[in-house]
C-alpha cells in the first residue's frame, strides 16, 4: 500500500486501542550524481518510506515505527507501541483536532518534476569546466555534484485530523582546490532552490573559485580580546549551534541556562531571535508541526528580552502552558521540539558598514568544527578563518585562529546586525553580527 493508504489503515487499527494516538509518516525520493574530470563518477537513486505511531493509553505514551507498509507490519507496530506504554512516564496532553489551514503547497514546485539526471549531468560537467576557467590557481575539483529531492509527509490522529505536505528541492555545488606555491586551499559553494531556471553555472563557479583563493597570503595577528564581525556566510551556523537553550524541554531537564529567565534581558537590544514558520523571508512554509498543532510566529528574543521558550504539547503541559506549535519528530523518533524557520531580523547596516564600527576587528568567514562548543553551558571554542580589518578596510587574510568565549556573552555584546542574508533558500537566516569583544588566540 502507499503511504496515504498506510496512514488510513493504521488509524483504523488503532481506534479503540488507546484513548489517543497520532501518526507521522513520510516518503522521500532522492536522485543525485557526482562528476570528476568531465565524467560522471557516481549516481545514486534512493527511496525511503516509514510510518511511526504514538499511542497514549491510561495516560502513558508508547512509540513504535515501521518501514514496511503491510497490514501485518502495521498491526505489529501498533502492538509494540501499546506494549511500550507500560514503561513510560504518564503525561497529560490532548491531541488537537483538525483546523482550517491553507490548501496550497508552498514547499513544492511542479516544474522541478521535469528535471532529470541527464540535465543535471550536463550542468555539472559545464560547472567543472567553468570553475577551472575562473582561476589558473585551481588545480583540482574533488567535490562536484547535484541532487534532486522530493518528499511527502503526513500527520494524522484519532480525532480525524489528517494534514499532508509535499516538498521538493534541488542543489548543485562544487568544492575547488587552489594552490599557490606549497600552500593549498579549498573553497566550496552549494546552491539550493526549487526553481532550476534560477541555477546559473557562472554564479556557482565564481563563488567557489573565489572562496578557494580568498585566504592566500594569510598573516598572523596578535591574540587577545578584539572586536569580531561574524559574516552572514557563517552566522547562521554560529546561532544554530545554540538553539537548544531556547527549548522548554531542555530547561525542564536542567540543560539550559535560560530556565526561569523568560521576561528577562539576556542579550543586547540589537539582538532578536524569531521562530517564523510562515514568514515572507523564507521559501519554506510550515502550517503545522509534527503533532498537528498550528504553528505561529514567535519573537523568542525581542530587543534582547527573552520572551518565551519553544514548547511541544508535553513540555507545555508540564509547565502549565499552551504549545507554541514547535513539536518536531520524524517517523522513527520520539517527539521533540525545534525551530520552524529561525531568523535574526535584519538590521540597517551592510556587512562593510559593520566593519567601520571598530578601528580594528576580525571578520570571520569560515568556522572549523564544533567539538569545543557546548549548547548547555554556552561555551565556545572553535577554529576560524577570515580577514583582519582596520577602519573598515580589509588588510589581509587570517587563518589558524581560535575563537573562545560563551554564546550568552556573545549575544550580550552584539553592537550591530547586518541587513544581508547569505542563502535565500535556508531555513535559518542570520545576518552578519558585530560583536564588541571576543577572545582570539593564534
The per-residue pLDDT for range 279-288, each reduced to its tens digit, is 999 999 999 9
pLDDT of 30 strictly over 90: yes
Asked if residue 329 has pLDDT above 90, the reply is: yes
Q: What percent of the chain has pLDDT over 70?
A: 100
pLDDT at residue 370 in the model: 83
CB 233 within 8 A of CB 367: no
Q: Are 348 and 419 in contact (CB under 8 A)?
A: yes
Distances (CA, A) of 417 to 274, 351, 364, 412: 14, 8, 14, 13
Question: Phi and psi of 315, rounded to 5°?
Answer: -70, -30
Scanning 177-227, the segments in alpha helix (DSSP H) are: 201-213
Q: What is the mean pLDDT of residues 245-271?
A: 97
Instruction: Say if residue 340's pLDDT is above 90.
Output: yes
124's torsion region: left (phi>0), alpha (psi -120 to 50) or beta? alpha
**Arithmetic mean of pLDDT over the chain:** 96
Confidence of residue 88 (pLDDT cuts 50, 70, 90): very high
b/e map 225-253, b = 16+ CB within 10 Å: ebbbbbbbbbbbebbebbbbbbbbbbbbe
Is 112 a residue whose pLDDT tops 90? Answer: yes
CA angle 178, 180, 181 (to 5 degrees): 135
At which residue does the C-alpha cell 551592510 appear? Answer: 350
Closest CA to 93 of 314, 361, 416, 367: 314
What stretch of H or E contains 328? strand 327-328
At 360-403, the pLDDT tens digits run 999 999 999 888 899 999 999 999 999 999 999 999 999 989 99
Give the pLDDT confidence score for residue 8 in this predicted structure: 97
- Domains annotated for the chain, with CATH where assigned, are 3-213 (3.30.2290.10), 224-239+346-441 (no CATH)
At 371 the pLDDT is 83
Place of cell 488510513: 8
The mean pLDDT of 136-156, rounded to a whole number, is 97
Amino acid at each position: 500500500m502507499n503511504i496515504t493508504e498506510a496512514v488510513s489503515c493504521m488509524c483504523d487499527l488503532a481506534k479503540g486501542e488507546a484513548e489517543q494516538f497520532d501518526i507521522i509518516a513520510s516518503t522521500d525520493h532522492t536522485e543525485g550524481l557526482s562528476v570528476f574530470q568531465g565524467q560522471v563518477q557516481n549516481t545514486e537513486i534512493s527511496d525511503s518510506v516509514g510510518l511511526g505511531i504514538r499511542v497514549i493509553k491510561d495516560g502513558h505514551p508508547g512509540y513504535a515505527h515501521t518501514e514496511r507498509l503491510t497490514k501485518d507490519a502495521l498491526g505489529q507496530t501498533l502492538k509494540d507501541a501499546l506494549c511500550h506504554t507500560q514503561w513510560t512516564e504518564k503525561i497529560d496532553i490532548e491531541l488537537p483536532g483538525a483546523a482550517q489551514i491553507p490548501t496550497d503547497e508552498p514547499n513544492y514546485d511542479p516544474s522541478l518534476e521535469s528535471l532529470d539526471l541527464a540535465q543535471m549531468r550536463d550542468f555539472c560537467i559545464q560547472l567543472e569546466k567553468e570553475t577551472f576557467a575562473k582561476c589558473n590557481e585551481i588545480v583540482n575539483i574533488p567535490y562536484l555534484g547535484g541532487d534532486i529531492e522530493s518528499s511527502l509527509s503526513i500527520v494524522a490522529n484519532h480525532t480525524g485530523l489528517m494534514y499532508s505536505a509535499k516538498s521538493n528541492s534541488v542543489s548543485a555545488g562544487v568544492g575547488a582546490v587552489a594552490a599557490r606555491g606549497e600552500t593549498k586551499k579549498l573553497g566550496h559553494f552549494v546552491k539550493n532552490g526549487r526553481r532550476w531556471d534560477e541555477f546559473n553555472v557562472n554564479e556557482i563557479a565564481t563563488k567557489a573559485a573565489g572562496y578557494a583563493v580568498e585566504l592566500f597570503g594569510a598573516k598572523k595577528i596578535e591574540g587577545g580580546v578584539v572586536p569580531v564581525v561574524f559574516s552572514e556566510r557563517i552566522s547562521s551556523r554560529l546561532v544554530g549551534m545554540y538553539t537548544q537553550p531556547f527549548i522548554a524541554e531542555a530547561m525542564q531537564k536542567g540543560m539550559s541556562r535560560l530556565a526561569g529567565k523568560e521576561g528577562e534581558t539576556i542579550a543586547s537590544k540589537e539582538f532578536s531571535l524569531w521562530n517564523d514558520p510562515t514568514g515572507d523571508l523564507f521559501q519554506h512554509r510550515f502550517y503545522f508541526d509534527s503533532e498537528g498543532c498550528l504553528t505561529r510566529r514567535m519573537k523568542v528574543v525581542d530587543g534582547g528580552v527573552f520572551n518565551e521558550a519553544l514548547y511541544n504539547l508535553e513540555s507545555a503541559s508540564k509547565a502549565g502552558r499552551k504549545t507554541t506549535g514547535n513539536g518536531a519528530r520524524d517517523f522513527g523518533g520520539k517527539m521533540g521540539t525545534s525551530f520552524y524557520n529561525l531568523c535574526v531580523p535584519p538590521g540597517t547596516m551592510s556587512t562593510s558598514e559593520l566593519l567601520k564600527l571598530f578601528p580594528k576587528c576580525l571578520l570571520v568567514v569560515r568556522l572549523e568544527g564544533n567539538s569545543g562548543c557546548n549548547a548547555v553551558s554556552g561555551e565556545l571554542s572553535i577554529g576560524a578563518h577570515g580577514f583582519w580589518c582596520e577602519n573598515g578596510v580589509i588588510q589581509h587574510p587570517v587563518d589558524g585562529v581560535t575563537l573562545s568565549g560563551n554564546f550568552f556573552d556573545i549575544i550580550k555584546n552584539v553592537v550591530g546586525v547586518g541587513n544581508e542574508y547569505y542563502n535565500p533558500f535556508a531555513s535559518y537566516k542570520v545576518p552578519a553580527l558585530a560583536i564588541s569583544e571576543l577572545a582570539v588566540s593564534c
